[in-house]
Amino acid sequence: MSDLYTDVTLRHLTFTIRQFAAGVSLAALALSLTACDGPRPRRTTTFDEESTAPYQSEVQEVFGAAVAILIDTSKSMREEAPGDGRPKADVAREALEAMFDATESLIAKRPDFAVKVGIYNFSSHARTVLPMQPFDRAAIRDALARVPRPGGGTAIGEAMLTARPDLYRAGVFRKYLLVVTDGENTSGRSPDQVAREIFQKSEQGVGIYFVAFDTSADRFAFLKQVRGDVMGAGNGPELRKALDEIYQGRILAEAATLGEREPESR
């Protein structure tokens, strides 16, 4: 009886040990496979700054133009505009509001052509004032009135980075950045670096224009290398003229002319 009991006990013990060993083997195999695979790759987003892949639209696109207006609200914009007793910020806001007259004219002539506008300001940081949306003169007027008062540094490159994804969510083929600034970049990534990145990853699909207000346009000479442009403006009237030439004479004219077909590389 004792020998039979011992034999049964040993067989149960052996079975248990084998089950345990099998479990350990399976666990070890799973760990081994995980180690071979490495960490699970993180899903790459459309606008991963570390990726070299081209930007891709997140929505279906139609003919039209999306324009991101980037407004300098750094401390220096408190200073009086040359030949005008008002701060440069007030003069710039007035010029920008007048600039949008051209949009109403285009829409009246081409109601089939979508125009979308986003407004952003930048000082030491960038901020969205008006999210990218179909042109609405009342909403734009309200947004320009809500642009913060000047103060802080000048984060031009960061503002470009903030606006860029919105262009690719706008749902239109033509995409533009229009920057109004009175000084050089002092915070965050440089506009030179960001412009080159956008030029490359957008496959030349984003037009970049600057207006250098009461500062040297030579600061932004790099724009020529990314098929963009810069115009200088020494005072209020010159600012209005420069904005009209870039916005109406280039952006809207190009978008409406080329908008009959899907854009290739610029």
Strands (E), 32-147: 62-72, 114-122, 126-134
Positive/negative CA dihedral, 183, 119, 52, 61:
negative
Profile the chain (266 residues) by mean pLDDT over runs of 10 residues.
Answer: 43 46 42 37 41 82 94 98 96 96 88 94 98 97 97 98 96 96 95 97 95 97 97 98 95 75 50
Q: What's the pTM?
A: 0.79
- Tell me whether residue 145 is exposed, middle or buried, using C-beta atoms within 10 angstroms of its C-beta: 0 to 12, 13 to 18, 19 or more: exposed
Tell me what pLDDT residue 141 has: 96
Strands 62-72 and 172-181: parallel
The full set of domain ranges for the chain reads 1-39, 62-258
Tell me what pLDDT residue 264 has: 52
Tell me what pLDDT residue 28 has: 44
3-state secondary structure of 42: coil
Beta-bridged to residue 80, according to DSSP, are: 87
Nearest to 219 by CA among 210, 228, 227: 210
For 62-258, the fitting CATH number among 3.40.640.10, 3.30.450.90, 3.90.1570.10, 3.40.50.410 is 3.40.50.410
